[in-house]
């Protein structure tokens, strides 16, 4: 395992959090919202996928 990946895993940064932060930043350009959405991680990712045109719900 690479050093960066190992350090990220030790810091508790998961894939869901990383995706949520990336989505949040692309929409809001706000550190505060990125932190909030990163906290909710997969819940925010699924919410985003269900509520956006072309998402999971069509």
- Return the pLDDT at 13: 76
pLDDT in tens, 9-50: 666 678 899 999 999 999 999 999 999 999 999 999 999 999
- Return the pLDDT at 39: 93
What is the 3-state composition of the chain as percent helix, strand, coil, each rounded to the nearest 5? 75, 0, 25
| pLDDT higher at 55 or 12 | 55
- Return the pLDDT at 36: 95
What confidence category does residue 52 fall into, taking pLDDT thresholds of 50, 70 and 90? confident
């Amino acid at each position: 395992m690479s050093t960066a990946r190992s350090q990220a895993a030790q810091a508790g940064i998961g894939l869901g959090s990383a995706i949520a932060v990336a989505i949040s930043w692309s929409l809001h350009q706000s550190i505060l919202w990125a932190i909030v959405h990163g906290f909710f991680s997969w819940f925010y990712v699924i919410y985003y996928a269900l509520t956006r045109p072309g998402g999971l719900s069509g």
